[in-house]
Structure 1
Amino acid sequence: MARSSNVVRIIGGEHKRRQLKVLDRPGLRPTPDRVRETLFNWLAPFLPGARVLDLFAGSGVLGLEALSRGAAWCDLVEKDGGAARLLESNLDVLRLLDRARVHHQDAQAFLRQPPSQPYDVVFLDPPYASDLLEKALAAIDGAGWLAPDARIYVERPARLGPPDVPGGWERLRQGEAGEVGYYLFGFHP
């Protein structure tokens, strides 16, 4: 069971200022407000009507923020059972269960099944002490995961610099906040 609960808030859109519980788990790092504000300013033209994938959802704050700002659909993938249940609860509180689905499973298992439709926006913020980012980048580059001109957000330790990405991806923006490096890529098949 969780040691204690924390709170994150939605910073823009339909659910602006709503506070939601998140579990206190080792390695669970909700994206800070300042970084989210920058990210969602970058994504503003792409969110209305978008299909979104929050692959290592954790708190789900990136996917929930996207839904609040007009995304049509979001798949949130979370391995931790407690975090997945809390994501379901937060979707219910925000009345977003008709626009999102929580997949309680490992990200790699989720990526083994091709998507029913490609995604317009993908959030990749895996646990830092893992090789999951490289595996996820390779997996979503194929099998119809990305719509033309999709946007892919990557968060990782700033000391590592930008990740190596597949051909056809263009680094559009980047920033640093403390020990966090964040990058926005465009997919151009």
Structure 2
Amino acid sequence: MRVISGQMKGKKLKSVAGMSTRPTSDKVKEAIYQILGPYFDGGVVLDLYAGSGAMGIEALSRGMDKGIFNDKTGQAIRTIKENLRETGLMEQSEVYRNDAQKALNHLAERNLQFHLIILDPPYQKQAIPENLSSICELDLLHAHGVILCEHDRKVELPEKIDGIVKVRNLAYGDTVISLYEWSELHA
């Protein structure tokens, strides 16, 4: 696993030991960032189920100003911090150990908004619709932000939920990427 592009291109990343996380393949990661736009002009990324932190690190490497990484396992937190140190991105990052809903509540208390929110929960513990509702209710998505959901092909996500709409749905083998943005009515 490595950083695909940007300032940290080619840096190797460690994955979380064991079978509890499923890293996004480099092929899928490259496809995702080609869809989002290969590079960013600043902004803040939230990697809510960060695992190794690879997806958020890729966003930072491609131009995001700040990254917030969250995971609920100690092993993942250690791996994220190690990868951030290895890439030199620790100073522009915050790392939290919390369950997803508590993390979202905490970030809302800080009045944060994100330009990119990454939801890639373990496939067997999908709570993406609930996460999407919370993100909307807590006003965590920037007006021009995007929510990227990575999920199993068997999971069907709603077209609309609480002010956001699915704008893309792409399949890569058993992995599906769904992108959400605020609906035009919200803007």
TM-score (norm 2): 0.90
Q: Does 1:166 align with 2:161?
A: yes
Q: 1:13 to 1:21 in 2, by over 3 A?
A: same
Contact 1:46 1:120 in 2 (8 A): no
State the one-letter code of the partner of 2:6.
G
Q: Does 1:121 align with 2:116?
A: yes
Gaps of 5+ in 2: none
The percentage of aligned residue pairs carrying the same residue is: 31
SS in 2 for 1:41: helix
* 1:24 to partner: Cα distance: 2.4
State the one-letter code of the partner of 1:22.
S
Q: Does 1:64 align with 2:57?
A: yes
Q: 1:46 to 1:18 in 2, by over 3 A?
A: closer
Aligned residues: 182
Q: 1:181 aligns with which of 155, 163, 176?
A: 176
The 1-side partners of 2:39 and 2:159 are apart by 24
Q: 1:18 aligns with which of 1, 11, 31?
A: 11
Q: Does 1:103 align with 2:100?
A: no
* 1:112 to partner: Cα distance: 2.0
Which residue in 1 is equivalent to 2:76? 83
Q: 1:164 to 1:27 in 2, by over 3 A?
A: farther
Cα displacement string for residues 114-162 of structure 1 (whole angstroms, at most 9, x for unaligned residues): 1432111100011111242222111101222011021010111112233
Bigger Cα displacement from structure 2, 38-47 vs 85-94: 38-47
Bigger Cα displacement from structure 2, 118-127 vs 132-141: 132-141
TM-score (norm 1): 0.89
SS in 1 for 2:72: coil
Bigger Cα displacement from structure 2, 94-103 vs 128-137: 128-137
The Cα RMSD (Å) is 1.7
Contact 1:137 1:165 in 2 (8 A): no
SS in 1 for 2:63: coil
